[in-house]
Amino acid sequence: SQELEQSPQSLIVQEGKNLTINCTSSKTLYGLYWYKQKYGEGLIFLMMLQKGGEEKSHEKITAKLDEKKQQSSLHITASQPSHAGIYLCGADGQAGTALIFGKGTTLSVSS
């Protein structure tokens, strides 16, 4: 079965610093989703990537899909306290099954 590995597991950065979170799949990625979660709450959709080399941005968050490496990265520029939370990557399972997810990366931003 397909698995998603996220790194790092947790991250503490100073406000204003840049950071990158990675998501690596054990199998070919057909669609890769990034979600953000506040502790104990639901997931909020950030971005979806489908094609190799595709890159999308929303405010200060940029995500890229490298299809050859079966990997996606999420980059935050000039981090702010509002960026703190858990970032999860999700991928389409095989044969049209529901999304599977990584364990998440917990981001803390110190002011």
Partner 1 sequence: ETGVTQTPRHLVMGMTNKKSLKCEQHLGHNAMYWYKQSAKKPLELMFVYSLEERVENNSVPSRFSPECPNSSHLFLHLHTLQPEDSALYLCASSQEGAGLNEKLFFGSGTQLSVL
Choose the binding region for partner 1 from 21-29, 30-38, 52-60, 67-75 (rule: CB under 8 A).
30-38
To partner 1, the closest distance from the beta carbon of 2 in angstroms equals: 11
> Is residue 33 involved in binding partner 1 (CB under 8 A)?
yes
Nearer to partner 1, 13 or 48 (CB): 48
Compute the least distance from the CB of residue 11 to partner 1, in Å: 16
Which residues are 30's β-sheet partners?
none
Hey, which bits of 10-104 come out as E strands? 10-14, 19-25, 32-37, 43-49, 55-58, 61-66, 71-76, 85-91, 100-101
